[in-house]
């Protein structure tokens, strides 16, 4: 596959992920992730540096397998979490995708910018979270799947609630 | 209607077994302005840890209510605290949360101060045609009235007329000891901060931090997820979380202290889940058998008005900063022993992320419930809340057996089963609130008369 075909395949995964979350197709969303996929959003250590050791430092989200995301989806569906009842609406925008050198027909890494508009029906407030993504994708079972996703949240001054569907 | 006396907003009648707080305490704009002056600027407020400014010239910016202050270690190692504002035109000096600077230079006209707050340069002073009298004025940064620390926790008071920090903390010092002594080589903030706001009064967090009653309703989804993990229904195996439902029949209680401090406690259903359990041998040798036992209990500690610890599985340190009557800022850190083995530190980190983080499975449920309460206070004002009564019939005035075991003399104590989920720890804060508000009003009246 040439560079543009790989990039197009990667962007397709990014766009599908955004759509699945915004349209609450949770099983499809989880299906994009390999079972052993890592999902990581480091916290900020100070104004200029992010935490980088998941075992010794705090992350906003760190799941070493898809099980962490599945817990979150269970919670969304439970209807028992005040913060998720009613469920906030979101719209993700993922842009500026760049393919890292060394991509093959079997594995690639994409870097992109994202923003997520969150509308809380509870108090009619809205907020935009934004930052950058790194997606490590592998070709498995005749589709591209997410092996690892790293999320950098630039505005980490958080109005009361943030969850995996807001980033 | 407005009451003329702050004390009228709290009905505190132990003889009749009555304790009520008026809704307006959380929603009245004028009371909030008075609180900033009389509570946050009227007593000792926690700023930061000595370990956050370990080196000469390290500094940390903190808040005392609405005031911004710089806590700075000078070249000789002494700690200072001054208002974060240049003496020249008043510009804010420091814009980063922390760093290391031997000299703070104002962005505006370049006046410079050393790490002890002393003015070391007035730009182009010699050409300035200043009158001689200018040279006689003090140009240093303005220090806070009182600054002291207890076991590495740095506190300041903008009011000079306060007890010593040691007297102010009283026997709540033991509650802090039970935290600090978990680290035979000292304690540290685990890197990675969480800052968040919520749309409600600062006292909602103050109360919630010692509220055992909300767990099974507010955090129902978290508790069910913990069950699912225990039953093998969740593929998430990276975090060890105990089933706190099992605690219901176990012993629990609380202590209140003078000056607003309190601690609730309960036996831990699975103490082996605590990262601390892995280093208990050294901790026992260091702190003694009794204190070691208390460290393995769950304990929520409030140091009035802005510092809280929740030590359930892992240990969290929270500071509370009021932004407006219905908006509050939180800074939250995981807190752990220096030199903690990697497997225990990893467990601590995962437990913190799972529950305490604003991105975790519990905190957003709290913050949105606070906002609901705030809406409720606007919806129906002029009423008295009924949330200060659970445990009223179980209160001991003075120490009980658990207090005597710890060697402390609380103002009130409770001992019972966890299922009581008592609300008695809240009383300490409102008693102190009344005291400080009353003192402040008397001071204002005295000044007005002069």
β-strand partners of A56: none
- How buried is residue B277: exposed, middle or buried, by Cβ count under 10 Å (0-12/13-18/19+)? middle
How many angstroms away from the CA of A7 is the closest CA of chain B? 31
> Does residue A115 belong to the interface with chain B, where contact is any CB pair within 8 Å?
no
Q: Hey, is B426 helix, strand or coil?
A: helix
Q: What are phi and psi of B370, to 5 degrees?
A: -60, -45
∠ CA B228-B231-B235, rounded to 5°:
60
Q: In tens digits, what is the pLDDT along chain B, a chain of 450 residues?
A: 678 888 999 999 988 989 999 999 999 999 999 999 999 999 999 999 999 999 999 999 999 999 999 999 999 999 999 999 999 999 999 999 999 999 999 999 999 999 999 999 999 999 999 999 999 999 999 999 999 999 999 999 999 999 999 999 999 999 999 999 999 999 999 999 899 999 999 999 999 999 999 999 999 999 999 999 999 999 999 988 777 777 889 999 999 999 999 999 999 988 999 999 999 999 999 999 999 999 999 999 999 999 999 999 899 999 999 999 999 999 999 999 999 999 999 999 999 999 999 999 999 999 999 999 999 999 998 899 999 999 999 999 999 999 999 999 999 999 999 999 999 999 999 999 999 999 999 999 999 998
The two structure tokens encoding residue B331: 């800074």
Rounded-to-integer distance, Cα A121 and Cα A102, Å? 44
Instruction: Please tell me the predicted confidence (pLDDT) of residue B1.
Output: 65
CB contact under 8 A, B236 and A74: no
Instruction: Please tell me the predicted confidence (pLDDT) of residue B14.
Output: 87
- Using only C-alpha atoms, what is the Rg of chain B? 23
> Does residue B235 belong to the interface with chain A, where contact is any CB pair within 8 Å?
yes
CB contact under 8 A, A158 and B359: yes
Q: Hey, is A132 helix, strand or coil?
A: strand
Q: Hey, is B404 helix, strand or coil?
A: helix
> Does residue A86 belong to the interface with chain B, where contact is any CB pair within 8 Å?
no
CB contact under 8 A, B364 and A68: no
How many angstroms away from the CA of A151 is the closest CA of chain B? 13
Rounded-to-integer distance, Cα A81 and Cα B5, Å? 40
Cβ atoms within 10 Å, residue B8: 12
Model confidence over A54-77: pLDDT tens digits?
999 999 999 999 999 999 999 999
> Does residue B230 belong to the interface with chain A, where contact is any CB pair within 8 Å?
no
Model confidence over A97-111: pLDDT tens digits?
999 999 999 999 999
CB contact under 8 A, B196 and A160: yes
pLDDT over 70 at A27, yes or no: yes
The two structure tokens encoding residue B102: 């031997």
Q: How far is CA B135 from CA B86, B113, B129, in A?
A: 17, 16, 11
From the list A58, A156, A161, which residue is nearest B368 (CB)? A161
Q: Hey, is B90 helix, strand or coil?
A: coil
Count residue pairs from A and B with Cβ separation < 8 A. Answer: 149
> Does residue B358 belong to the interface with chain A, where contact is any CB pair within 8 Å?
yes
Among residues A145, A51, A125, A129, the alpha carbon closest in space to that of A94 is found at: A129
Decide if B185 contacts B214 (C-beta within 8 A). Answer: no
Query: Which of 89-148 (B) contact A at CB < 8 A?
Result: 96-98
From the list B220, B352, B369, which residue is nearest A58 (CB)? B352
Among residues B201, B202, B197, the alpha carbon closest in space to that of B331 is found at: B197
Residues of A in contact with B221 (CB under 8 A): 75, 78, 80-81, 84
Name the strands in the sheet holding B384-385, side by side, starting at the edge strand that comes first in the sequence.
B10-13, B18-22, B384-385
Q: Hey, is B104 helix, strand or coil?
A: strand
What ipTM does this complex have? 0.97
Helices and strands: H and E segment counts in chain A: 3, 7
Instruction: Please tell me the predicted confidence (pLDDT) of residue A37.
Output: 98
pLDDT over 90 at A150, yes or no: yes
Q: Is the pTM of this model over 0.90?
A: yes
In chain A, which residue's Cα lies nearest the Cα of B336?
A56
Instruction: Please tell me the predicted confidence (pLDDT) of residue A100.
Output: 97
């Amino acid at each position: 596959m040439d560079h543009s075909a790989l990039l197009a395949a990667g962007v397709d995964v990014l766009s599908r992920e955004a759509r699945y979350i915004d349209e609450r197709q949770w099983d499809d969303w989880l299906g994009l992730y390999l079972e052993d996929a890592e999902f990581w959003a480091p916290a900020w250590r100070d104004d200029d540096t992010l935490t980088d050791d998941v075992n010794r430092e705090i992350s906003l989200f760190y799941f070493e397998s898809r099980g962490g995301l599945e817990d979150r989806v269970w919670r969304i569906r439970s209807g028992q979490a005040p913060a998720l009842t009613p469920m906030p609406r979101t719209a993700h925008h993922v842009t500026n995708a760049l393919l890292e050198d060394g991509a093959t027909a079997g594995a690639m890494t994409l870097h992109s910018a994202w923003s997520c508009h969150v509308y809380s029906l509870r108090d009619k407030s809205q907020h935009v979270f934004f930052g950058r993504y790194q997606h490590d994708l592998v070709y498995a079972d005749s589709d591209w799947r997410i092996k690892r996703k790293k999320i950098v949240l630039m505005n980490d001054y958080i109005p009361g609630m943030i969850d995996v569907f807001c980033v | 209607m407005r009451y003329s006396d702050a004390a009228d907003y709290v009905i505190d009648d132990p003889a009749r077994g009555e304790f009520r707080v008026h809704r307006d305490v959380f929603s009245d704009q004028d009371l909030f302005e008075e609180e900033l002056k009389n509570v946050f600027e009227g007593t000792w407020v926690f700023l930061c840890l000595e370990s956050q400014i370990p080196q000469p010239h390290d500094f940390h910016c903190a808040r005392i209510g609405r005031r911004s202050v710089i806590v700075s270690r000078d070249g000789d190692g002494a700690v200072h605290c001054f208002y974060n504002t240049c003496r020249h035109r008043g510009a804010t000096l420091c814009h980063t949360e922390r760093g290391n600077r031997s000299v703070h230079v104002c962005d505006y006209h370049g006046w410079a101060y050393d790490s002890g707050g002393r003015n070391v340069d007035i730009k182009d002073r010699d050409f300035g045609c200043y009158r001689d009298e200018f040279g006689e004025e003090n140009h240093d940064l303005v220090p806070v009235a009182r600054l002291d620390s207890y076991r590495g926790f740095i506190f300041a008071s903008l009011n000079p007329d306060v007890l010593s920090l040691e007297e102010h903390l009283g026997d709540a010092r033991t509650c802090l000891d039970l935290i600090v002594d978990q680290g035979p080589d000292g304690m540290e903030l685990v890197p990675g901060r969480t800052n968040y706001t919520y749309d409600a009064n600062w006292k909602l967090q103050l109360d919630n931090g010692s509220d055992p009653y909300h767990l099974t309703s507010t955090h129902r989804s978290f508790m069910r997820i913990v069950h699912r993990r225990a039953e093998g229904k969740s593929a998430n195996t990276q975090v060890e979380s105990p089933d706190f439902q099992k605690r219901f029949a176990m012993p629990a209680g609380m202590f209140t202290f003078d000056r607003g401090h309190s601690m609730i406690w309960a036996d831990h259903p699975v103490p082996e889940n605590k990262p601390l359990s892995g280093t208990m041998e050294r901790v026992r040798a260091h702190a003694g058998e009794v204190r070691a036992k208390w460290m393995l209990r769950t304990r929520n500690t409030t140091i009035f008005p802005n510092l809280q610890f929740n030590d359930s599985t892992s240990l969290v340190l929270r500071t509370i900063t009021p932004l407006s009557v219905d908006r509050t800022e939180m800074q939250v850190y995981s807190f752990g022993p220096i030199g903690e083995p990697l497997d225990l530190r990893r467990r601590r980190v995962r437990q913190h992320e799972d529950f305490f983080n604003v991105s975790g499975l519990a905190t957003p449920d709290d913050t949105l419930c606070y906002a609901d309460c705030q809406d409720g206070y606007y919806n129906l004002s002029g009423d008295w809340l009924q949330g200060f009564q659970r445990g009223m019939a179980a209160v001991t005035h003075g120490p009980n057996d658990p207090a005597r075991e710890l060697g402390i003399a609380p103002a009130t104590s409770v001992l019972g089963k966890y299922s009581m989920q008592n609300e008695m720890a809240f009383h300490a804060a409102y008693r102190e609130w009344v005291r400080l508000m009353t003192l402040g009003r008397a001071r204002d009246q005295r000044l007005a008369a002069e």
